[in-house]
Amino acid sequence: MSVPKLRDPSLFKQGVAYVNGEWVPAKSGKTFDVHDPATGKFIGSCPEFDAQDTEKAIEAAAEAFESFRHLTGRQRSKLLRRWYELVMENADDLATLITWENGKPTADAKGEVVYAANFFEWFSEEAPRIYGDTIPSSVPGNRVFTIKEPVGVCGLITPWNFPAAMITRKVGPALAVGCTVVCKAPGETPFTPLALAELAHRAGIPKGVVNVITALDNTPEVGEVLTTHPTVRKVSFTGSTPVGKLLMKQCSGTLKKLSLELGGNAPFIVFDDADVDAAVAGAIASKFRSSGQTCVCANRIYVQRGIYDEFAEKFAAKVREFRVGNGFEAGVTHGPLIHHRAVEKVERHVHDAKEKGAKVVLGGHTLPDLGPNFFQPTVLTGMTPEMVMASEETFGPVAGLFPFDTEEEVVKMANSTPVGLAGYFFSRDVARVHRVAEHLEVGMVGVNTGLISDPAAPFGGVKESGFGREGSLYGIGEYQVTKMITVGGVGTLQR
């Protein structure tokens, strides 16, 4: 596979990050290398930012905030809209960067670009519609109302599995309400965020409003500055639960507003009154999206005993149709995992399930002939609650099918985890649809669908999957503070 070509090569930024409207290296001159997960080959280098570099970006964002916050909603809307249009105009190049550094097949990468752009579109439409409330006062003669203000400079930290969409989902609402941002791009996939920064520049977003910085080895140092610097008033993080807990501790010193979109362990329940074919399609979409590397991927597939064999057979037949390979190759449906650590985790989960009695219906092994990070799409049956996959997020292309007998039993199993991001179930019983949706301890429920992501819908978890919501009307509030204003002594006119 030769080096992928971009229509606009100037979107591929090497050795520089975007601070205060300029492309700058790290002050130390240090860089880190980024590799293609499919081939292991070198893609390019990015600056290894340190604490001082990060402080500069925060200062730039603070200065820009003073004027950006006073633009009207309509003015900010136009800037976001222009950024949206540029992302769409450059969708092919952005998708190429995503496939190159993340590994997902081109069609999925294009899907991500549209998903990412839609956050800009959606929030550009919200920007002019930021309302406060008028409140009947308890004190005669007083008038009480609220205004919504931007919280201030935001530190945004995002993962590699959606190199574009996880950033736009945060930056869209932040800019819509008048905040300025310092985004720490994921070390595995920095080139897509940097290309987005170039498009922000072309969209005319004022200098300092959007800053995109990069680090790999220095990630904890950069993270510490973003979470402890007094000027940063809000941190939004998407990533694993352990890192989320650490960042929350770090934020406590300056009591920052915080959103945490953390790991999941999604139950996917198929009741015997379900449309089995639809449930198979939903489970395939949910489980194998991005080769199983999304936080809302089905992690435990519970199938009621009466339809277990039929479901397993149809499900495995669909997985047999997958074509694994380099995401740039035509016809490839599933790419590599992000790195060797991810492959090792998947291997450990499969090994543990086999040891404890699961049957491997399909797959179960790495695919070294394809490249360093490929794993066969795998189907396991006879799963039990003692297996690691029941309690740990696999984040890979392994579907474990757990049998169950009753609704009470499966809801209890579904909830028997400290995390609660997404949950899914298939049923045609209307009463059960309401009952089970209400009893699942998760932030998002998919009923008779395996795909729930939508910029218009609130995305987020409960329990150790974090707090805060992204996308939707609720995503706006995460970047605002409510200010109450009481005007005293207004009285009434004497007649």
Crossing angle (nearest 10°) for helices 51-68 and 219-228: 40
The alpha-helical segments, DSSP class H, found in 51-142 are 51-68, 73-89, 91-102, 106-126
Is the Cβ of residue 177 or residue 248 nearer to ligand NAD in the bound state? 248
Spatial contact of 247 and 157, defined as CB atoms under 8 Å apart: yes
453 binds, among ligand O=CCCC(=O)O, ligand NAD, none (CB under 5 to 8 A by kind): ligand O=CCCC(=O)O
Is the Cβ of residue 84 or residue 459 nearer to ligand NAD in the bound state? 459
Q: Binder to ligand O=CCCC(=O)O among 203, 295, 324, 338 (CB under 6 A)?
A: 295
- Catalytically annotated residue among 59, 121, 261, 470: 261
**Cα 52 to Cα 44: distance, rounded to the nearest angstrom:** 23
Which segment (41-49, 271-279, 292-300, 324-332) binds ligand O=CCCC(=O)O by CB under 6 A? Answer: 292-300
Is the Cβ of residue 220 or residue 306 nearer to ligand NAD in the bound state? 220
**186 sits near ligand NAD (criterion: CB under 6 A):** yes
Q: Is 16 helix (H, G, I), strand (E, B) or coil?
A: coil
Is the Cβ of residue 303 or residue 342 nearer to ligand NAD in the bound state? 342
Size of the site for ligand O=CCCC(=O)O (CB under 6 A): 7
Token readout for 240 is: 């694993």
Token readout for 11 is: 């979107």
Which segment (51-59, 123-131, 237-245, 373-381) binds ligand NAD by CB under 6 A? Answer: 237-245
The count of C-alpha atoms lying within 13 angstroms of the C-alpha of 319, restricted to the half-sphere facing its C-beta, is 29
Which segment (18-26, 153-161, 399-407, 473-481) binds ligand NAD by CB under 6 A? Answer: 153-161
221 is catalytic: no
Is the Cβ of residue 161 or residue 218 nearer to ligand O=CCCC(=O)O in the bound state? 161
Cα dihedral 383/466/343/300 (nearest 10)? 20
179 binds, among ligand NAD, ligand O=CCCC(=O)O, none (CB under 5 to 8 A by kind): none
Token readout for 44 is: 């390019």
- Give the single-character DSSP code of 218: T
Cα 223 to chain centroid, rounded: 18
What string marks each residue from 411 to 440 as x (binds ligand NAD by CB under 6 A) or -? ----------x-------------------
262 binds, among ligand O=CCCC(=O)O, ligand NAD, none (CB under 5 to 8 A by kind): ligand NAD
**162 sits near ligand O=CCCC(=O)O (criterion: CB under 6 A):** yes
Q: How far is the CB of 243 from ligand NAD (least distance, A)?
A: 4
Spatial contact of 414 and 259, defined as CB atoms under 8 Å apart: no
Q: Which long-range contacts (CB under 8 A, 24 or more apart) does 352-356 make?
A: 352/387, 352/388, 352/389, 353/380, 353/383, 353/387, 353/388, 353/389, 353/400, 354/380, 356/384, 356/386, 356/387
Token readout for 220 is: 């904890």
Residue 86 CA: distances (Å) to CA of 79, 118, 439? 11, 12, 43
**91 sits near ligand NAD (criterion: CB under 6 A):** no
**453 sits near ligand O=CCCC(=O)O (criterion: CB under 6 A):** yes
Q: Binder to ligand NAD among 24, 87, 94, 157 (CB under 6 A)?
A: 157
Q: Binder to ligand NAD among 95, 205, 213, 295 (CB under 6 A)?
A: 295
**261 sits near ligand NAD (criterion: CB under 6 A):** yes
Q: How far is the CB of 328 from ligand O=CCCC(=O)O (least distance, A)?
A: 22
Is the Cβ of residue 262 or residue 380 nearer to ligand NAD in the bound state? 262
Q: Is 180 helix (H, G, I), strand (E, B) or coil?
A: strand
**Cα 120 to Cα 101: distance, rounded to the nearest angstrom:** 23
Size of the site for ligand NAD (CB under 6 A): 25
**248 sits near ligand NAD (criterion: CB under 6 A):** no
**Cα 305 to Cα 407: distance, rounded to the nearest angstrom:** 12
Spatial contact of 304 and 413, defined as CB atoms under 8 Å apart: no
Q: How far is the CB of 293 from ligand O=CCCC(=O)O (least distance, A)?
A: 7
The count of C-alpha atoms lying within 13 angstroms of the C-alpha of 267, restricted to the half-sphere facing its C-beta, is 33
Q: How far is the CB of 103 from ligand NAD (least distance, A)?
A: 14
Spatial contact of 162 and 116, defined as CB atoms under 8 Å apart: yes
**187 sits near ligand NAD (criterion: CB under 6 A):** yes
Token readout for 26 is: 């790290």
Of 426, 414, 361, nearest to 385 (Cα)?
414
16 binds, among ligand O=CCCC(=O)O, ligand NAD, none (CB under 5 to 8 A by kind): none
- Give the single-character DSSP code of 105: -
Q: Binder to ligand NAD among 223, 372, 420, 475 (CB under 6 A)?
A: 223
Which residues here bind ligand NAD, judged by CB under 6 A? 157-161, 186-187, 219-220, 223, 238-240, 243, 246-247, 261-264, 295, 393, 395, 421, 461
Which residues here bind ligand O=CCCC(=O)O, judged by CB under 6 A? 161-162, 294-296, 453, 459
Positions annotated as catalytic residues are 261
